[in-house]
Amino acid sequence: MLLHEILVDAAREVPDRIALIVPAHTPRTPGASGAPTSHAPAGAHTVWTFAELADRSRALAARVARRTSPGARVGILAHNRAEYVAAYYGVPWAGRVLVPLNPRLHPREWADQLARSGAELLLGDADLTARLDRPEGSTLELGEAVADTATDGAEFTAAGDETALTWLLFTSGTTGRPKGVRLTHRSLIAAMRGSLACRPVESDTVVLTPFPLAHVAGYQVPAHHIARRPVVVLHRWDPAELASVVSEFDVTNLSLAPTMIDALLDHVRTGDGLRERIRAISYGASPITPELIRRVDRLLGCALGQGYGMTELSGNAVFLSAADHRPELFAAAGRPGPGVKIRIVDDAGRPLPTGATGEISVRSEQVADGYWQTDTGEFANGWFRTGDLGRLDAEGYLYVLDRKKDVIITGGENVSAREVEAVLRAHPDVRDVAVVGEPDTRWGERVVAVVVPVSGRSIDPDTLVDLCRAHLAGFKVPRRVVFTDALPVTGTGKVSKPTLRARLAEDTPTGR
């Protein structure tokens, strides 16, 4: 099956059934630049049927096909909005590759990813695309791309190969520079079907997601369209807004990160209807604590389902069911979905016995087609080495123990420690630096920079924070800067980050 065929079939079978809801919102106060944090106008809900979504996706495909060459990459830089979902389908429908850009990144990062992908066209929101220096005619406002569906039905050659690329998603890696992940029709559809098998969708299910559509978590939108059910997409994450939307649109299921669940529970009030309406919450992006599980049970009383996955797996591949959310399995990530094989390997890639700790390796149709224009060895012989450390027990449950890759996860966002370190090392008074994640009750982890100043020099921590803010996305900027005389090192001279984390946990050195 090809991605757009989900829409074509649904529009034929249930044309008038609602496919997509993007609720009205109240724009946040403009930032220093004067740009609002969300694009669509307040006060107007967007509600599209399957027929309407198919028409808009087809119109977008025709416009993209006229302005680009076959197989071209098409960037998209936008806030969550209905037209974004049309691009999910429409760009691959035209035989082109969608390249989502995270709106939270720095413009330099957008420009780098557009250049590396070789994107011929950029779809987007004007308040975002205006921050990029693009050649005239290479940018198309996203709303215009789906307009006039009845009068702009130009013919185009649809994609016809399951192995063709659909989305090229950039994700942080340990090298300090994000890598593009090649997702295909086959890998995405396999991930969607696996999720539906492990999280069955009922005939009245209405799922809500606040995740940025630029993330791989967006795969759940077409997954629910396979089941012919509507998806509610928030413009942005706001727990108070989510609580009101649940009631207005009869939402039954939520897809959230643990940090979002924690924040939502702060907004649960007697009589607000959340406990009566919410049947299940699916979570991922970071582990959940037993305390939060118990709090969900106390305040909402709904089922929980965990998913373990990543961009390179086109979504989730391992699932912990509601029935498995019992104390003895709280630390487990779950069992592999249908068609997914998991093995634990040593540094040489050799399989380890049950119970042994090693790197998690995955084999499945939902594994991506590799990295864009680079081969770093993670994809080999049909297996993808995740870079995560874990173990399998005798019953087939996977336990994710740590990250072999040096990545910090804060609020569901991946931060490469090496990328932050490279920026900080550019300061003339920084002799050495190590960036690590520090536990945070709300965000999972926060970014901490441990800095060794040049002998005899004094550094204002705010100066280092400002330096990072000038070059990196906001979520990558250190929340704490700690100064030390020397970094702990191993016998081979490498910085020992486990030792560093332990020292940070033991005391609170002076710093910002």
10 Å CB burial of residue 300 (0-12, 13-18, 19+) is buried
Q: How many of the other CB atoms lie within 10 Å of CB of 49?
A: 18
Report the DSSP beta bridge partners of residue 343.
Answer: 361
Cβ-contact 360, 344 below 8 angstroms? yes
Please answer whether residues 336 and 343 qualify as being in contact, where contact means their C-beta atoms are separated by less than 8 angstroms.
no
Rounded distance, CA 264 to CA 351, Å?
A: 41
Alpha carbon distance 509, 502 (integer Å): 13
Name the phi and psi angles at 171, rounded to 5: -140, 150
Distance CA 45, CA 239 (A): 18
Q: CA-CA distance, 339 to 250, in Å (whole number)?
A: 33
Q: How far apart are CA 369 and CA 505, in angstroms?
A: 40
Look up residue 158 and give its two tokens.
């649809």
DSSP state of 80: S
Q: Kindly state the helix (H) or strand (E) to which residue 409 belongs, with its residue range.
A: strand 407-410
Type of residue at 227: A
Q: What is the pLDDT tens value at each position of the chain, 512 positions in all?
A: 999 999 999 999 999 999 999 998 765 544 433 333 334 444 589 999 999 999 999 999 999 999 999 999 999 999 999 999 999 999 999 999 999 999 988 999 999 999 999 999 999 999 999 999 998 889 999 988 888 766 555 678 776 799 999 999 997 543 447 899 999 999 999 999 999 999 989 999 999 999 999 999 999 999 999 999 999 999 998 998 998 899 999 999 999 988 789 889 988 887 788 999 999 999 986 667 788 898 999 999 999 999 999 999 999 999 999 999 999 998 899 999 999 999 999 989 999 999 998 899 999 999 999 999 988 889 988 899 998 888 999 999 999 876 676 778 898 888 888 789 889 988 999 988 999 999 998 889 999 999 999 888 999 999 999 999 999 999 999 999 999 998 887 544 567 787 888 888 886 544 44
**Where do the domains of the chain lie, and which CATH numbers do they carry?**
3-26+40-303 (3.40.50.12780), 407-506 (3.30.300.30)
Burial of 323 per CB tally in 10 Å (0-12, 13-18, 19+): exposed
Its pTM stands at 0.82
Q: Given the structure tokens 């942080």, which residue do they identify? A: 172
